Amino acid sequence: MIIKCPHCGPRDLAEFSYHGDATLTRPDPASTDRDAWNAYVYDRTNPAGDHREYWQHSGGCRRHVVVSRNTLTHAITDVRFAGERK
């Protein structure tokens, strides 16, 4: 697999590390809504098809990216920086 890092360009999979589902929203840090936290930590849609996921270009620029990838074909349609850092 080749992931096109928005900074470094296309790079081999081996340079990246996976960080899982990027569609989850972390509850407000102060929230004590246990269900929301449980859902965030444990529950996954795990789709067969389009998936948005975090990867870190750990063997390159070290930035995290959000990759849109099809889990049936592994075809990648979009890669962008995660978050918008200041």
Partner 1 sequence: MAEYSAFQVFKNGLTGNTGWKQAWRKPEPKQQYDVVIIGGGGHGLATAYYLAVNHGITNVAICEKGWLGSGNIGRNTTIVRSNYLLNGNTPFYEHSMKLWENLSHELNYNVMFSQRGIINLCHTPAQLDDTARRGNSMRLMGVDARMLTPRDLARRVPGLDLSASARFPVLGGLVQPRAGTARHDAVAWGYARAADRRGVDILENCEVTGFLRDGDKVTGVATSRGEIRARKIAVCVAGSTSHMMKLAGIEKLPIESHVLQAFVSEALKPFLDTVVTFGGGHLYISQSDKGGLVFGGDIDGYNSYAQHGNLPVVEEVMSETVALFPAAAKVRLLRSWGGIMDMSMDGTPIITTGPLTGMYLNCGWCYGGFKATPASGWCFAHTIARDEPHELSAAFTLDRFHRGYVIDEKGQGATPWKH
Partner 2 sequence: MAEHPSFVADPVLRDRAESPLTGHYQPGDFGTLADNDPGVTLSERFGLTIVELAAWRGDEEKIRSAVASVMNLKLEGAPGSGAAGENGSAFNTAPGRWLVSGEKAELAAELAGQTGTAGTLTDLSHGRTVIRIDGPRSRWVLSKLFAIDFSERVWPVGHGVSTSHHDIHAAIQRSGADAFDIIVFRSFARSFWHVLCRSSEETGYRVT
Partner 3 sequence: MTSHRLPTGGRIGRDVRVHFTFDGKRYYGHGGDTLASALLANGIRVLGRSFKYHRPRGLLTAGYDEPNALVTVLTDGAREPNIRATELEIFEGLVAESQNRFPSLRFDVMAINQFTGKLLGAGFYYKTFMGPVIGPLKGTRFWMFCETFIRRAAGLGRAGTTPDPARYERMNAFCDVLVVGSGLAGLRGARDAATTGKTVIVCETMPVAGGCTNWRGDETQSDEARTLIGELGEMENVRLLTRTTAWGYYDGNTVAALERVTDHLPKRGTPAPRHRHWVIRAGQVVIATGALERPMVFPGNDRPGVMLADAAMRFAEEFGVLTGKRMVLFTNNDSAYRVAMRLKELGADVPAIIDVRAEVEGDARADAETAGIEVIAGHAVVKTEGRPEVSSVFAQPFDHRTGILPGSGRALTCDALLVSGGWSPVLHLASQAGARPVWDEQLQAFVPPEGDGRWTAAGSAAGEGLDPPAPVFEIVSTGGKAFVDLQHDVTADDVRLAHREGFSSVEHLKRYTTLGMATDQGKTSNISGMAIMAEALAAPIPQVGTTRFRPPFTPVSLGALAAERYGDLRPHRLTPMHDWHAEKGAHMYPAGLWMRSESYNRPGETVEQAYIREARNVRESVGIVDVSTLGKIDVQGPDAAEFLNRIYTNGFAKLPVGKARYGLMLREDGFAMDDGTTWRLAEERFLMTTTTANAARVMQHMEFYLDCIWPDLRVHLTSVTDQWAAAAIAGPNARDVLAACVEGAAVDHATLPFMGIVRGAVAGVPVMICRLSFSGERAYEVYCGAHHGQHVWDALMEAGEKFGIEPYGLEALGTLRIEKGHITGAEIDGRTTAHDLHLNWMISSKKPFVGSAMLDREGLMDPSRWSLVGVVSLSGERLRGGSHVVNGADREDPGRSLGHLTAMCYSPAMGKYIGLALVENGPGRIGSRAWATDPARSGTHIPIEIVRHHFYDPEGKRMHG
Residues that bind partner 1 (CB under 8 A): 1, 12-14, 18, 20-21, 34-35, 38-39, 41-48, 51, 53, 55, 69, 71-74
CA gap 49, 69 in Å, rounded: 8
Nearest to 62 by CA among 2, 5, 4, 21: 5
CA gap 16, 3 in Å, rounded: 8
Q: State the nearest-atom distance from the C-beta of 39 to partner 3, in Å.
A: 12
Q: State the nearest-atom distance from the C-beta of 65 to partner 2, in Å.
A: 11
Instruction: List the one residue from 7, 23, 37, 43 that touches partner 3 (CB under 8 A).
Output: 37
